[in-house]
Amino acid sequence: MGFKLDLHVHTESFGRVYMDEKSLEVALRIRGLDGIAVTNFANISHAFWLRKKLPQFLIIVGQEIWSSKGHIGALGITRKIADFLSPKETIRQIHDQGGLAVAVHPFLPMGIGELAYELPVDLVESYNGMIGAAFFFNLLAGFKAWSSKRVSVSSSDTTALDFIGQSRIEVLTDDTKDVLSAIQSGKLLLTKRALPVPFGFILRNFLGARNLPPCRLHAAPCFLCGNSMAVKILKRKVSCIDCHREEFSRISCSEGHFFCIACVLRRISEADDKVNISAISAYHGTY
């Protein structure tokens, strides 16, 4: 018997909950999963909440960290790790907590690239289900992991309940306590299936649609008006609503609101810090 797990799931994004304990429990059963790693940005309280509410499943507390050179996943941590540290320092802090460091989607622009194979990361996400049509990024990550003898994992990287476990691993151990070390030593079977590319969402994004439903990729509603953050065809000069810093970006909501990534993560993190899991009876969006 092994454990079927999706190691890269966003249950919360931009302060909104996309998978509460009830819907997640149903989805885990339907998808035949034994658990997930909850890897939200700047939010760790929802992972602790889900672990408390779903003791019959293996809920690994994790985080997706925005290091100075790209995203790094952490699995099996107990304290939130700061964003924008160097990859080396981020990995050191993950290991200090006894966690595993994952080079998630290393060759996407948001990944850490070649550093995945130079720094002491434990796992390379050589198959990211969200990448879908841009499969070349996965092929390159997988080939480099194989040639450098790194342990590969596959995961979904989704906020959508329908797609958890679409890509997943099976850990070949019987012992719950042994799961992280079995993952680290590569006792794994990988299931690799791409998430469907949300063409409709992308097209409507470029056309400036309003009030889009959450994207199946990284759901990102605007803090100010709640409309989805959208990708525009051309970069243009925008000013962050919080810090007023100007930059060139493709991203803003359909009303034109823009938040720089530092302010986004700070807002989420500050809201997360206020949540006291043992004192609440229901977890709502933190923001």
> Of 184 and 227, which has the nearer Cβ to Zn ion?
227
The minimum distance between CB 21 and Zn ion, in angstroms, equals 20
> Of 27 and 260, which has the nearer Cβ to Zn ion?
260
> Of 33 and 102, which has the nearer Cβ to Zn ion?
102
The minimum distance between CB 78 and Zn ion, in angstroms, equals 20
Question: What are the residues binding Zn ion (CB under 5 A)?
Answer: 64, 71, 157, 222, 224-225, 240, 242-243, 253, 255, 257, 260, 263
The minimum distance between CB 131 and Zn ion, in angstroms, equals 10
Where is 251: in which H helix or E strand?
strand 246-253
Residue with tokens 């602790």: 48
Asked if residues 161 and 19 have their Cβ atoms less than 8 Å apart, the reply is: yes
Asked if residues 170 and 191 have their Cβ atoms less than 8 Å apart, the reply is: yes
> Of 58 and 240, which has the nearer Cβ to Zn ion?
240
C-alpha torsion sign, points 109, 115, 120, 126: positive
> Of 203 and 224, which has the nearer Cβ to Zn ion?
224
CA distance 52 to 69: 33
The minimum distance between CB 71 and Zn ion, in angstroms, equals 4
The minimum distance between CB 109 and Zn ion, in angstroms, equals 10
Residue 3: phi, psi to the nearest 5? -115, 120
> Of 81 and 173, which has the nearer Cβ to Zn ion?
81
**Around Cβ 79, how many Cβ atoms within 10 Å?**
11
The minimum distance between CB 45 and Zn ion, in angstroms, equals 17
Residue 249: phi, psi to the nearest 5? -150, 155
Name the β-bridge partners of 73: 64, 102
Q: CA 141, 83, 249: angle at the middle one, nearest 5?
A: 75
The minimum distance between CB 242 and Zn ion, in angstroms, equals 4
CA distance 25 to 271: 25
CA distance 117 to 148: 7
The two tokens of residue 212 are: 């889009």
> Of 64 and 173, which has the nearer Cβ to Zn ion?
64
The minimum distance between CB 240 and Zn ion, in angstroms, equals 3
> Of 37 and 173, which has the nearer Cβ to Zn ion?
37
Name the β-bridge partners of 9: 38, 158
Taking only Cα atoms into account, the Rg of the chain, rounded to an integer number of angstroms, comes to: 18
